[in-house]
Chain A
Amino acid sequence: MEEKYEEEIQRLQQEIETCEAEREECLRAISSQHGETLQRILKTISVQKDREDGVINQAVSKLMTEISDLEKDHRRQTDISGISLSECCLKTLEKSNTKTIQQYRLTGRCWLLSFQVEFALTEIQDGETILKKVTDFNIISDGAEFKDLCGFLSSAEESKSVFLFFRTLRSFSERCKQRTCTYQHFKEKYPDVVQLPEGCRSEIMVIQSPQLPGCTMSIFWNITVSKEGTVKPKIDLLMKMPEQAQKLDTESVVESAPGCFQSLLTAFGVEATIESLIQSVCF
């Protein structure tokens, strides 16, 4: 008798697990395939609830509170990590007592850089310890900035370094943001002198005074990422002058300019250096 019950309990537990997994998959399918419809309906539900005075089903109201807490938490996570996730597609590929494999497909943004990644996370229970490791990693990303990341991206994929990828993406995007903000600042401050031929998110800024049409100073602000994920900016100056002017350049200012530019950078920082360059052509 006892054995019969024990068997039944075990069978029931297994059935519940399968059923729960099925329910989860179905709930996930609704939110991923009908995201917009779902959002619209949820909005009307919450509006309706606000209008009605407290006559809400207890289960519904509990769910609503849970959702609003989770939404709050999502905003907080986004704010603190700088990574904004817009979509998460989670699939359980394998599940047993000791091993779980889950596949993640994530879409999101880090500042203005959008990314899409796919990875599989394997969890193996070994006694008291749980071993967690990434077993498959793919990065699907586009956007002009990512061309500087190419080498790093392939090495990160190869070594399955999902976590390193996000850490590097964060510091890389911060550097990009700094560059864009600086370029925009100078473009707004000196609209006649400063040009951004490839837009404010590219690495080039050209300084050219309307009074000196032949002379240009181009700033190349590259952000390099090593294979191990170290992000470093590299800023160079390129001078261009008409030949006639070059003949007058007896102290070879043009030649020594890039070197002087580097000394200025280390002494005063990027903004003050660019400011002084612009000042030098605005009489």
Chain B
Amino acid sequence: MDNPRQKGVFDHLMMLERKEAAILQRHQNERLEELRTTAATLRAKKDRIRVETSAIKNLKAQMDKGLPLDDDETAHFVKLEPYLLMSRRMQLRDLQTAHRLIAGYDLFESKQGKSVCVSFHTAFEGVCLETYNMEMDLNRMVQISRHNIPPCIPLEKLAKENLQTDFKGFLQTLDLHLNALAGRKQQITLVKELVGTVEIIEKNQLCNFLALVCKAPADTDEDVLCTLEYGDLTRCLPTHVAIDGENKTLIASPQWKEHQVLLMETPVHSALLTMRKLGSIS
């Protein structure tokens, strides 16, 4: 009853199955082999680091006791040398990291010294925000070739003022502008979190104009409109604050006069929080 063709198909299928199993087996073997090599490499690495660590510990103990290390050029000292160098490298790397962090901007040479890249790190109240980069060609004249500074920053004006004459001054002023912008932006983000207390009804790209409606406390129904103008683009605080509302006696009250001063002197989100605590807004 064997149908040769049928047999052929079964055979073929069986062959295919066997083939697949073999491939699978091979893959598995390969993967196992790979894992074994990785594990072996890691084991070796671990042992090496362990040996190094204990050697460094010994070195430190020796230094703690004040024992001389370099009184003779023994093989022992030659072994210690790399660790001392590593310690110095560690120290310098930490300094570099710290310096990058606190300086606000950093500079790198590129294209074999033909151009420099500057990156500006912005932050507000300890929170790190955007980083901006700028590449400058150093021909006879310093020229900005590429950058991702927001268009609302008066970069051209700042460059005209002191890019050629006072490079460090230029970097510092630009850094001030970028940080002020980042600070104003961040304040808006933080104000948005005060849901139910205030509503932002108008703002702009440069974040130098902000109109807010402060919700009145639950028992009253008198919302107050605050408009903040940031006339100095190097600052995070407004130069003009206006308070308006339907109830003129309320906005002329000493309490709201104080709030106006508060809004001038403290970042807007913290001023609003204080006002909420005092019960002026809901």
Q: How far is the CA of A34 from the CA of B42 in the complex (A)?
A: 32
Asked whether any CB of chain A lies closer than 8 Å to the CB of B252, the reply is no
Instruction: Give the residues in chain B near A81, CB-CB below 8 Å.
Output: 99, 103-105
Q: Are B99 and A163 in contact (CB under 8 A)?
A: no
Which of B63, B70, B81 gathers most chain A CB within 10 Å? B81
Q: Are B85 and A70 in contact (CB under 8 A)?
A: no
| Min distance, Cβ B189 to any Cβ of chain A, angstroms | 13
Asked whether any CB of chain A lies closer than 8 Å to the CB of B89, the reply is yes
| Min distance, Cβ A170 to any Cβ of chain B, angstroms | 7
Q: Are A167 and B88 in contact (CB under 8 A)?
A: no
| Min distance, Cβ A234 to any Cβ of chain B, angstroms | 18
Instruction: Give the residues in chain B near A83, CB-CB below 8 Å.
Output: 99, 102-103
Asked whether any CB of chain B lies closer than 8 Å to the CB of A160, the reply is yes
Asked whether any CB of chain B lies closer than 8 Å to the CB of A71, the reply is yes
Instruction: Give the residues in chain A near B93, CB-CB below 8 Å.
Output: 70
Q: How far is the CA of A41 from the CA of B85 in the complex (A)?
A: 10
Return the CB mask of B46-67 against A: 1 if under 8 Å, else 0: 1001101100110110011000
Q: Select one of A22, A24, A63, A132 contacting B128, CB under 8 A.
A: A132
Chain A: interface residue count, which band?
A: 35 or more
Return the CB mask of A1-41 against B: 1 if under 8 Å, else 0: 11001101100110110011011101111111110011001
Q: List B residues 72-104 near A (Cβ within 8 Å).
A: 73, 78, 81-104
Q: Are B107 and A60 in contact (CB under 8 A)?
A: no
Q: Select one of A8, A30, A67, A78 contacting B60, CB under 8 A.
A: A30
Q: How far is the CA of A13 from the CA of B42 in the complex (A)?
A: 7
Asked whether any CB of chain A lies closer than 8 Å to the CB of B255, the reply is no
Q: How far is the CA of A159 from the CA of B190 in the complex (A)?
A: 14
- Knowing A9-B38, A166-B104, A170-B172 touch, does A31 contact B87 (C-beta < 8 A)? yes
Asked whether any CB of chain A lies closer than 8 Å to the CB of B69, the reply is yes
Return the CB mask of A114-148 against B: 1 if under 8 Å, else 0: 00000001000000000111110100000000000
Q: How far is the CA of A27 from the CA of B83 in the complex (A)?
A: 8
Q: How far is the CA of A22 from the CA of B126 in the complex (A)?
A: 29
Instruction: Give the residues in chain B near A64, CB-CB below 8 Å.
Output: 85
Q: How far is the CA of A135 from the CA of B53 in the complex (A)?
A: 31
- Knowing A70-B92, A88-B98 touch, does A80 contact B168 (C-beta < 8 A)? yes
Query: What is A's interface to B at a CB cutoff of 8 Å?
Result: 1-2, 5-6, 8-9, 12-13, 15-16, 19-20, 22-24, 26-34, 37-38, 41-42, 44-45, 48, 57, 59-60, 63-64, 66-67, 70-71, 73-74, 76-78, 80-83, 85, 88, 90, 104, 106, 121, 131-135, 137, 159-164, 166-167, 170-171, 227-228, 230
What would be 28 A-B contacts, judged by CB atoms less than 8 Å apart? A2-B31, A2-B35, A5-B32, A12-B39, A13-B42, A16-B42, A19-B50, A23-B52, A24-B90, A27-B83, A31-B87, A31-B90, A33-B64, A38-B87, A45-B85, A63-B82, A63-B85, A74-B96, A82-B168, A83-B102, A88-B91, A104-B98, A161-B125, A162-B101, A163-B102, A163-B126, A166-B103, A171-B172
